[in-house]
Amino acid sequence: NAGVTQTPKFQVLKTGQSMTLQCAQDMNHEYMSWYRQDPGMGLRLIHYSVGAGITDQGEVPNGYNVSRSTTEDFPLRLLSAAPSQTSVYFCASSSIHIDRGDGYTFGSGTRLTVV
Amino acid sequence: GNSVTQMEGPVTLSEEAFLTINCTYTATGYPSLFWYVQYPGEGLQLLLKATKADDKGSNKGFEATYRKETTSFHLEKGSVQVSDSAVYFCALSEGYSTLTFGKGTMLLVSP
């Protein structure tokens, strides 16, 4: 089925470790973005991309890195994990023609725990 | 900057009761407005959207009208079901590349 695929679904890291959360979409969407969800905080934007080779920071970018070498993939890298990065991470994609479509499509999320 | 404010929960209702979840926004331009729903343990699903003033979005019995004069996009349903229990997020987008979310409102419906 078409959509946004995130891996892994669950991950436990030790403080200081690095890892990459994967996100792939097969809808040829131009826009992709990463959010983190914390209790009582809603979803907050980490980084986003408006096309291959173009990325920008969101509201809470510190400690995270992104790149977009292809339209389909938008990985999120944690450089040195900290307990404050314990959260649920969602990747989303959308078309520039959002008024004609269904809006943003979200992945199923990655639950990350940093100990 | 842009922001979204929605009523705090949890909202607790009996089955078949009327639901309203308030949402107001602040934006510099003319945003598109969305309601997303998150069922326990799942990701976010688009519930409805409106892209310009006075548009009404509707889906699965839920409705919301884009009110530019009051900068609001309140979610309503005439008769809730137990299966509607979830967290509801109001969100806006300008330029369509990203979303700004409210903090979410948990809805609990009892039989």
pLDDT at A31: 93
What residues of A are in the B interface, CB distance below 8 Å?
31, 33, 35, 40-45, 48, 50, 58, 90, 92, 94-96, 98-99, 102-104, 106-109
Residues A74-98 have a mean pLDDT of 92
3-state helix, strand, coil in chain B (%, to 5): 5, 50, 45
A35 CB neighbours in chain B (<8 A) are 99, 101
* CB-CB contact of B46 with B57 (8 Å): no
A90 CB neighbours in chain B (<8 A) are 43-44
Q: What is the pLDDT of residues A33-65, one digit of tens each?
A: 999 999 888 899 999 999 999 999 999 999 999
pLDDT at B42: 87
Q: What is the pLDDT of residues A88-98, one digit of tens each?
A: 999 999 887 76
Q: Can you tell me which residue has the tokens 């520039």?
A: A96
What is the band of A102 on the pLDDT scale with cuts at 50, 70, 90?
low
- Return the sign of the alpha-carbon dihedral for residues A81, A85, A88, A90: negative
Residues A18-36 have a mean pLDDT of 95
pLDDT at B98: 86
Contact state of B101 with A96 under an 8 Å Cβ cutoff = no
Select from A42, A96, A102 the Cβ nearest to the Cβ of B103.
Answer: A42
Average pLDDT, chain A: 92
Distance (Å, whole) CA A91 – CA A93: 7
Distance (Å, whole) CA B10 – CA B33: 22
Residues A72-96 have a mean pLDDT of 95
Q: Can you tell me which residue has the tokens 């907050």?
A: A44
* Peptide linkage before A8 cis (omega within 30 of 0): yes
Residues A26-31 have a mean pLDDT of 92
The residue ranges of chain B whose pLDDT is under 70 are 96
What are the angstrom distances between the C-alpha of B90 and each of A111, B82, B102?
22, 21, 5
Select from A41, A94, A106 the Cβ nearest to the Cβ of B103.
Answer: A41
Contact state of B96 with A48 under an 8 Å Cβ cutoff = no
Instruction: Report angle CA A85, A88, A89 to the nearest 5 degrees.
Output: 90
